[in-house]
């Protein structure tokens, strides 16, 4: 059985950009429910995988949408907590900075594209910054529980949750203001840079804690 991972910071640490009320509900209720539901589905099986990544892959193989939704949402939220930091980190650095400039023109242009894509995403989902093995980066917005870890050769670097439960307490319907706070104040670039290194080394990057 999988456990709800602790947040990597105090629930109030991201204020004023993300409130403790949001994190307590999002982590303590929503994320916890996905894990509980995943565990319940796995309890019926004799051969449950021992990693959440394995559960996601199993659900894909079996075309089991309910298991996929709960396993992928368990994984996506774990990755989302790592994508946030209470310590503003300015711009991405090093090779990731160069890759973003190559793909988007400049870091400022990247931030604008992130905000435009996130605001334009219809209904629930996630905005992912991903890399392929050669180090080419791009933004993809995926619906509901969909996750780039099912794409062979793709490594996520950073993600922003654009389900309403991620921002409605703090920003009501103003998703663009939430996206701006994420990409300008909360984004954990040191984590994204480490993921970028892993992507190019074929190491896979962050794993859900077991
Ligand atoms: Fe969420």
Q: How far is the CA of 183 from the centre of ligand 1 (A)?
A: 17
Q: How far is the CA of 124 from the centre of ligand 1 (A)?
A: 9
Q: How far is the CA of 152 from the centre of ligand 1 (A)?
A: 24
Q: How far is the CA of 34 from the centre of ligand 1 (A)?
A: 10
Question: Spelled out in words, what is the top-level CATH class assigned to the domain 20-82?
Answer: mainly alpha
Residue range(s) occupied by CATH 1.10.287.990 in the chain: 20-82
Q: What is the mean pLDDT of the chain?
A: 97
Q: How far is the CA of 31 from the centre of ligand 1 (A)?
A: 7
94 φ/ψ sector (left φ>0, alpha ψ -120 to 50, else beta): left
Phi, psi dihedrals of residue 205, rounded to the nearest 5°: 80, -155
In the structure, what pLDDT confidence band is assigned to residue 108 with cuts at 50, 70 and 90? very high
CATH code for residues 94-201: 3.55.40.20
Q: How far is the CA of 102 from the centre of ligand 1 (A)?
A: 30
Write the CB contacts of 102 (distance below 8 Å, at least 6 apart in sequence): none
Q: How far is the CA of 126 from the centre of ligand 1 (A)?
A: 9
Q: Is there a contact between 139 and 113 (Cβ–Cβ < 8 Å)?
A: yes
Q: How far is the CA of 71 from the centre of ligand 1 (A)?
A: 13
Write out the two tokens for 69: 């939704």
- Using one digit for the tens of pLDDT, what is the confidence trace for 39-88? 999 998 998 999 999 999 999 999 999 999 999 999 999 999 999 999 99
Residue range(s) occupied by CATH 3.55.40.20 in the chain: 94-201
Q: How far is the CA of 97 from the centre of ligand 1 (A)?
A: 27
């Amino acid at each position: 059985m999988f456990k709800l991972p602790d947040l990597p910071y105090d629930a109030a640490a991201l204020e004023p950009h993300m409130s403790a009320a949001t994190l307590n509900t999002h982590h303590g209720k929503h994320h916890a429910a996905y894990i509980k539901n995943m565990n319940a589905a796995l309890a019926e099986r004799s051969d449950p995988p021992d990693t959440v990544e394995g559960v996601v892959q199993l659900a894909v193989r079996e075309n089991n949408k309910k298991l996929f939704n709960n396993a992928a949402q368990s994984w996506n939220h774990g990755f989302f907590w790592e994508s946030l930091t209470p310590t503003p980190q300015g711009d991405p650095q090093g090779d990731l900075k160069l890759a973003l400039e190559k793909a988007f023109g400049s870091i400022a242009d990247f931030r604008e594209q992130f905000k435009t894509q996130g605001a334009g995403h219809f209904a629930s989902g996630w905005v992912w910054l991903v890399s392929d093995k050669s180090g080419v980066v791009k933004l993809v917005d995926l619906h509901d529980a969909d996750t780039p870890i099912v794409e062979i050769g793709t490594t996520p670097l950073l993600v922003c949750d654009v389900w309403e439960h991620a921002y409605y307490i703090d920003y009501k319907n103003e998703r663009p203001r939430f996206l701006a706070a994420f990409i300008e104040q909360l984004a954990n670039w040191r984590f994204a840079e480490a993921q970028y290194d892993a992507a190019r080394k074929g190491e896979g990057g962050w794993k859900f804690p077991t």
